[in-house]
Amino acid sequence: MTEEAAITRRVSRGPWATAMHRLARDRAGMAALVMFAIILALCLLAPVYAAWAGVNPFTSTLGATIVLDGNTVPVMEQSTEGLGLGYNPIGPTWELGNYFLGADNQGRDVMARLLYGGLTSLLIAGAATILTLSLATIVGLVAGYFGGLTDIILARILDVLWAFPVYLLAISLSIVLIAHGFEIGPITIESGSLWLPIFIIGIVYVPYVARPIRGQVLSLRESEFVLAAIGLGVPSHRILLRDILPNVSTTLIVFVPLMMALNMLTESALSFLSIGVQPPDASWGTIIQDGQGLLYSRPWVALAPGIAIVLCVLALNVLGDGLRDALDPRSKIRLGGG
């Protein structure tokens, strides 16, 4: 068989299959995916772990005792040396189901809270990512496609929003909303609800995604297939959904893990500052804050969620890079703020 014949017989892969094939060959990307999947699976098992360990990670158990090496010991230990100052939670026992990572200052099992906290952090990061991408896509498509006054107005709104330092804006919104909740028309979010950090984080990053989407749409708007569709009288909404959106979808997919990582860091920062997830709920940020006061005596309370955040964000960033390389090797999208 000649070489030419072989080429004509090869069945070409579709763009998605090609991308997945590229991703599968990216060892770092796959390792990140596996790591993220393991973290997610462990967090999803939080209720199972708590039930197995027989602990309630949201209730104070200051007077509780556990059996350790055959001895019954209190979860909170009174210092007996010197002046007898201080009352410390038990440290890591390294026995799964038995205060593996020790207790926090309310006598709660840190391991169980770590898993529940991860679940909350991932939930907020995921939901905020969906919110950000949805709003950014709408704004980017409309601004880029319609241009003119619509573009000027939307682009300037994005500029104004992006002119605020992200964390400063998020902290300001949180301080205002955490106390009284949020109410606009039929939409009511009570203070303390997880929807508040989701809403806040989701909003502050809209310009970060919308601006590159708008740029892409501006370019696509002038492409021949779009001009042809306009010339044929295809309605705008149909051009946006059928012709333009599919062409920006790879960019959106690349943004998913990157935004997840960014949102997770923002959530942790807000919760650490007491303006994100509210007690007794747990997130990795709140657990770090709980551990801050125990840094000298029980460092694992803060270290464990810190390590979890590092691993998770690392995995998501590497996965994001892998996806970008797989879906659009020529893309210039990089994480780093706008």
Residues that bind another protein (CB under 8 A): 59-60, 62-63, 76, 78-79, 81-88, 105-106, 175, 178-179, 191-192, 274, 278-280, 292-298
Q: How far is CA 156 from the centre of its chain?
A: 27
Shortest distance, CB of residue 107 to another protein, whole angstroms? 9
Shortest distance, CB of residue 258 to another protein, whole angstroms? 31
Instruction: State the Cα–Cα distance between residues 205 and 215, nearest whole angstrom.
Output: 16
Shortest distance, CB of residue 300 to another protein, whole angstroms? 12
Instruction: State the Cα–Cα distance between residues 316 and 40, nearest whole angstrom.
Output: 12
Regarding beta strands 187-189 and 182-184, do their DSSP bridges make them parallel or antiparallel, or are they unpaired? antiparallel
CB nearer another protein, residue 249 or residue 297: 297
Shortest distance, CB of residue 265 to another protein, whole angstroms? 21
Cβ atoms of 294 and 301 within 8 Å: the answer is yes
CB nearer another protein, residue 255 or residue 272: 272
Nearest to 173 by CA among 154, 157, 189, 153: 189
Shortest distance, CB of residue 321 to another protein, whole angstroms? 37
Q: Residue holding tokens 């804050």?
A: 289
CB nearer another protein, residue 18 or residue 292: 292
CB nearer another protein, residue 72 or residue 80: 80
Q: Which two tokens stand for residue 66?
A: 């556990």
Instruction: State the Cα–Cα distance between residues 90 and 9, nearest whole angstrom.
Output: 68
CB nearer another protein, residue 74 or residue 215: 74
Cβ atoms of 101 and 57 within 8 Å: the answer is no
CB nearer another protein, residue 85 or residue 187: 85
Shortest distance, CB of residue 296 to another protein, whole angstroms? 4
Question: Cβ atoms within 10 A of the Cβ of 316, count?
Answer: 27
Shortest distance, CB of residue 177 to another protein, whole angstroms? 12
Cβ atoms of 50 and 116 within 8 Å: the answer is yes
Cβ atoms of 320 and 308 within 8 Å: the answer is no
DSSP string, 111-167: HHHHHHHHHHHHHHHHHHHHHHHHHHHHHHHHHHHH-HHHHHHHHHHHHHHHHS-HH
